[in-house]
Amino acid sequence: MFSAFTTLNNSIDNYTKYIDGELMRYFVTLATAFAALITTNSGHAETTPYDGTGSHLYVVTEAETKPNKNYLDIKAHRARTIRSLRYAADNGNRVAMFDLASVLSQGIYGPQDLKAAYNLYEAAADKDEPRALSVMCQAYLLGINRPVNIAKAMNEYCIKIKVSQPALIFSVAYDYEHGLSGPKDETEAFKNYLLAAQTGSGEAMNQLGLKAINQTDKAEVAREWFRRGSAEGSADAMFNLAQMTAEGRGGFKDEKEAAWLYVNAARRGHKGASEWLSAQLVSPEPLKRTILYKDSKWLITQADGTKNTKTPKSFDVKDLAQFFSKYREEGGTDISATMHCYITESHIIDLCLNQAELPVGYNAGAILRGVFNDKLTISPIDAKGQSTAQSVFVYNFTWSFN
């Protein structure tokens, strides 16, 4: 998987160049908010509510979240956040539009609303908000919560994206592949898909997977591209990976992980995944949620980077905040991310998906994925005495600079 750490500084630079002077950041202590929303009894995980992402909900432990103790009234804070964003968005602030769209699309602070979210993304893009331009370029190009409209995508949104951005590179590759503005050129398309993938484009990774799957003996390569694309948030990649995982193509067969992927693709508005869910006679059982922190220690080990596998390194996440030192110097507020990771029958993390990330644009989720990766070995039994095989590990993290 491509390293998130090598691209972090570029992401911060790109983001801060246009955000200055537009809107103060409103998002504080989201991890606490997630914890406050969960009130069910942890002793009855098998009957607890389904959270819409393929996992059960129950009481979050300190291992799963790093709350800021300064905010006790989470509901009041959440309401203030939404009011502030709506006020700014209603008054035409493009950054507020994008951030409110991110809240709605991820289902943070309330029910998910993809229709309202994409209306706000488009309104922000029409004001040339850089992140929104990338969203709407791909939305109209690929039909992501919008009807496919190639002309609108290319002429109104893609063309305005900065040269180094993944969405623009992806649109160039897509143009070459389909001959949108000139003759088709498969060589140039492939080259640009690779470049877009290297800059973090999940949609480019999905396209590379589709190219590999049509080649003889390339199922394993295709599956890996779909896995990478899924990690970067591509619903198409999640859908394709679900199909391969259900069939055992290019790797192990796991119908539970496949169902989890279908649920997550559908949650992001994927039509095929939604149709798959509707066709099931019985709704997929939400995966059990495992706790990997006990007695102030992680129930996780990691390879030490050498051939010595008998003495794995201890696992720790305490140094994550160092990657945001530049952001702290510029007066930024808290950065928060929530990630769900699927643990296989072999007690290895196969895939981590970002379920929430605010503010968008700092690769917070990518950094977490860089830490929780397939080089980690999970204890067979979690902190509650349950098997960790075919379960989901949830991690909420907030970088607080207050």
The confidence score (pLDDT) of residue 24 equals 33
* Beta bridge partner(s), residue 381: 387
Mean pLDDT of 119-135: 97
Chain mean pLDDT for the chain? 79
The confidence score (pLDDT) of residue 298 equals 87
Instruction: Choose the most confident range, by mean pLDDT, from 2-16, 35-49, 100-114, 148-162.
Output: 148-162
Contact present, 205 and 225 (Cβ < 8 Å): yes
The ranges assigned to domains in the chain are: 1-25+288-402
**Residue 46 confidence (pLDDT) above 70:** no
Burial 16-32 (b: 16+ CB within 10 A, else e): bebbeeebeebbbbbbb
The confidence score (pLDDT) of residue 371 equals 79
Q: Can you count the helices (H) and strands (E) in the chain? A: 16, 9
Comparing 141 with 55, the larger pLDDT belongs to 141
**Residue 323 confidence (pLDDT) above 90:** no
The confidence score (pLDDT) of residue 40 equals 26
Comparing 324 with 393, the larger pLDDT belongs to 393
The confidence score (pLDDT) of residue 2 equals 32
Work out the number of other CB atoms within 10 angstroms of the CB of residue 283.
Answer: 11
pLDDT in tens, 160-202: 999 989 999 999 999 999 999 999 999 999 999 999 999 999 9
Contact present, 8 and 367 (Cβ < 8 Å): yes
pLDDT in tens, 223-273: 999 999 999 999 999 999 999 999 999 999 999 999 999 999 999 999 999
Mean pLDDT of 376-398: 90
The confidence score (pLDDT) of residue 75 equals 59
Biggest CA-to-CA distance, the chain: 62
The residue with tokens 């619903």 is 235
Mean pLDDT of 7-24: 34
Cα 359–chain centre separation: 13
**Residue 63 confidence (pLDDT) above 80:** no
Which helix H or strand E contains 376, and what residues bound it? strand 376-378
One-letter amino acid of 394: V
Calpha distance 303→321 (Å, rounded): 22
- Going by pLDDT thresholds of 50, 70 and 90, the confidence category of residue 338 is confident
Residues 6 or more apart whose Cβ sits within 8 Å of residue 367: 4, 5, 8, 320, 323, 337
Mean pLDDT of 346-367: 84
The confidence score (pLDDT) of residue 16 equals 33
Lookup: tokens for 190: 């492939």
Lookup: tokens for 292: 């990997």
- Going by pLDDT thresholds of 50, 70 and 90, the confidence category of residue 107 is confident
> Would you give the DSSP letter of residue 287?
B
The confidence score (pLDDT) of residue 367 equals 79
The confidence score (pLDDT) of residue 337 equals 83
The confidence score (pLDDT) of residue 93 equals 96
Contact present, 225 and 212 (Cβ < 8 Å): yes
Comparing 128 with 338, the larger pLDDT belongs to 128
Given CATH 3.30.2420.10, say whether it is the number of domain 1-25+288-402.
yes
| SS3 state at 32 | helix
Comparing 81 with 317, the larger pLDDT belongs to 81
**Residue 290 confidence (pLDDT) above 80:** yes
Comparing 270 with 80, the larger pLDDT belongs to 270
**Range with the lowest mean pLDDT among 27-36, 83-92, 126-135?**
27-36
Lookup: tokens for 360: 């968008």
One-letter amino acid of 173: A
- Going by pLDDT thresholds of 50, 70 and 90, the confidence category of residue 80 is confident
**Residue 316 confidence (pLDDT) above 80:** no
Instruction: Evaluate the omega torsion of the peptide bond into residue 359 and state whether it is cis, within 30 degrees of 0.
Output: yes
Cα angle for residues 392, 66, 79 (degrees, 5° grid): 95
The confidence score (pLDDT) of residue 321 equals 60
- Going by pLDDT thresholds of 50, 70 and 90, the confidence category of residue 296 is confident
Any idea of the CA torsion for 129, 132, 138, 140, to the nearest 10 degrees? Answer: -90
